[in-house]
């Protein structure tokens, strides 16, 4: 059986990545809570998004991408985002 604590050690801080995921969702014009409630996004899919974000190693690039966004920018998702496909599906 896998040691989940040891496995999680290699992942980034969960709170930082939840914040980054929420920031990308906002930039994409996606309300993750509403998508979860509607069933368009499953709880498992959301958990995978968070875990992929934590393991991707692009948190600095993501934070810089988010900080460069301005009010009124067109909805977008960074191409390097491991959840880009999911966000694009939810944007459509």
Q: What is the pLDDT of residue 23?
A: 98
Higher pLDDT, 26 or 9: 26
C-alpha distances in Å from residue 39, one per residue of 32, 50, 55: 10, 17, 25
**pLDDT tens across 24-68, in order?**
999 999 999 999 999 999 999 999 999 999 999 999 999 999 999
Higher pLDDT, 87 or 5: 87
Q: What is the pLDDT of residue 10?
A: 77
C-alpha distances in Å from residue 4, one per residue of 1, 8, 83: 9, 6, 22
Q: What is the pLDDT of residue 9?
A: 65
């Amino acid at each position: 059986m896998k040691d989940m604590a040891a496995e999680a050690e290699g992942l980034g801080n969960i709170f930082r990545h939840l914040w980054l995921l929420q920031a990308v969702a906002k930039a994409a014009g996606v309300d993750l809570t509403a998508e979860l409630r509607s069933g368009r996004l499953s709880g498992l899919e959301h958990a995978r998004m968070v875990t992929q974000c934590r393991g991707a190693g692009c948190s600095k690039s993501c934070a810089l991408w988010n900080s460069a966004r301005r009010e009124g920018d067109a909805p977008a998702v960074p191409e390097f985002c491991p959840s880009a496909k999911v966000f694009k599906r939810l944007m459509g």
